[in-house]
Amino acid sequence: MRRLAISTWTLHRQLQGNLTLLDLPAQIAQRGISALEICHFHLPSTTPAYLAELRQACQVAGVEVYSILIDTGDITAPDPTQRAVDLETIRGWIDVAAELGAGRVRVVAGMQAPTPEVIQRSVDNLRELASYAEQRGVKTITENWHATSLDPQALRTILDQCAGAVGLCADIGNAEGPAKYATLAQLLPYASSIHFKARYTPAEEIEATDFARCLELILAADFQGIVTLIYSDTDREWAATEQLVEALQPLVCA
């Protein structure tokens, strides 16, 4: 069943101001959004007391903590010492996700160009992290983001070699470029979640042709997961969120 989530990245400016992460679940629930993805750097504390308070705020609002987006660490770093440090950092965030009750963590597949050696390193470390997360009741996904996984064929190879241990968040905005729709056509059949970024006209309306094409590809892939709203500008965040919620209702209700 398709349903809507929002990433804290969409509200980054708000979270630097008067909006607290503890207040956010109630705010998004009022706007018909039932799940939350939290960038790791938006957690102001990882103490057990704070994580319990945030978990309670989500439960009261009826909001699922869908994932923690771990935006740090290079699991393909060429230096083995640095790679070991980064892997340990990611494991620490997996522990945080488990304590918070998040269902998933998103781990970057790597920040090096996707040579065969780098792809193998990505696969090996993703599988190891997925096993670590699974033991803590957390699933692992990756994303078409950063150098190792921006090429759709390289990313599909990584996912195939992970043999189902790692899911995919297909980010529509990260597929931008001349091959956007061809890239999405390759990735969406693998996706368990989507980061939905719309294009906008100068009048701040959602660009209709691109929006319709993206929805067409999502439906063609028979996607049935979470659709996370992503808005990257630093103004009118709530208005843009409500605009996306309204525009995506046909997809959610289909």
Identify the residue with better confidence: 1 or 180: 180
What pLDDT digit, counting tens, does each position of 94-114 carry? Answer: 999 999 999 999 999 999 999
pLDDT digits (tens, 9 = 90+) for 72-89: 999 999 999 999 999 999
Distance between CA 42 and CA 46 in Å, rounded? 10
pLDDT at residue 250 is higher than 90 = yes
The predicted-structure confidence for 3-48, as pLDDT tens digits, reads as follows: 999 999 999 999 999 999 999 999 999 999 999 999 999 999 999 9
Per-residue pLDDT of 115-171, as tens digits, reads 999 999 999 999 999 999 999 999 999 999 999 999 999 999 999 999 999 999 999
- Helix, strand, coil shares, percent, the chain, to 5: 50, 15, 30
User: At residue 230, does pLDDT exceed 90?
Assistant: yes
Looking at residue 15, its pLDDT comes to 96
Q: What is the pLDDT of residue 254?
A: 81
Q: What is the pLDDT of residue 34?
A: 96
SS (H, E, C) 39-96: EHHHCCCCCHHHHHHHHHHHHHHCCEEEEEEECCCCCCCCCHHHHHHHHHHHHHHHHH
Residues of the domain holding 32: 3-253
Please report the pLDDT score of residue 49 as a whole number: 98
- The CATH number of the domain where 33 resides is what? 3.20.20.150
Looking at residues 180-185, what average pLDDT do you find? 98
Helix axes 208-220, 180-187, angle to 10 degrees: 20
Q: In this predicted structure, what is the pLDDT of residue 211?
A: 98
Domain count, the chain: 1
Full-model pTM: 0.97
State residue 1's pLDDT score: 83
Q: How confident is the model at residue 92 (pLDDT cuts 50, 70, 90)?
A: very high
Q: Is the pLDDT of residue 213 over 90?
A: yes
Task: Give the pLDDT mean for 195-218.
Answer: 97
pLDDT computed for residue 234 by the predictor: 82
